[in-house]
Amino acid sequence: MKIKKIDLFILSINILFFIYYSFQLLVFTDEFALRNIGAFNHAIAGLSEILGIIFLSLSIGLIIILYKGIENQLPLFITILLIQLIISLNFWRYILTDSPGETDLFTISINASIFSFCSLLTILFIFNNKKYL
C-alpha cells in the first residue's frame, strides 16, 4: 500500500517530534532537565536519558514504517498514542492545578500543546488507516 500524502505528513511530524525530544533529552540532559523540570540530579538525568532512548527508538520505528509500510503496525501506533496522550495529560494537570514546581507554566504549556497536537495527529492517522492497521 502506498502511503498517502496526509499520512506521510503525519508520520513526518511524529518523526520530527520524537527526534527533537530525543535529541534534547540525550544531548542536553542537564539543561533540558533544568529548563523543563526545574531541578537536576542523577536520577532525573538518568530518567531523561531513558526517555530520550525510547523516543529515539520510536522515531526509528516510524522511519522504518516509511519504507516497509503501515500494514499491521497498530500496536506501535497505539503505543505512540498512549505515550503522547498520557504525557500531554500529565502536562495539562500541572497547568490546571497551577503547580509548575521549579519550572514555569509557559514552558509546561508549550510542551503540553506540542504533545496534545501530536496526539491528535496520531489519532487522525489511526482512524484514517484503520483498515490497514
DSSP 33-92: IIIIIS---HHHHHHHHHHHHHHHHHHHHHHHHHHH-STT-HHHHHHHHHHHHHHHHHHH
Q: Is residue 31 part of a domain?
A: yes
Each residue's pLDDT tens digit, 39-86: 666 777 788 889 999 999 999 999 999 999 999 999 999 999 999 999
pLDDT at 38: 64
- Domain count for the chain, please give it: 1
pLDDT at 112: 96
Q: Is residue 115 part of a domain?
A: yes
Give the predicted TM-score (pTM) of the model.
Answer: 0.88
Q: What is the average per-residue pLDDT within 6-25?
A: 95
Q: What's the whole-number average pLDDT of the chain? A: 90
Segments forming the whole domain that contains residue 62: 5-128
Q: Is residue 120 part of a domain?
A: yes
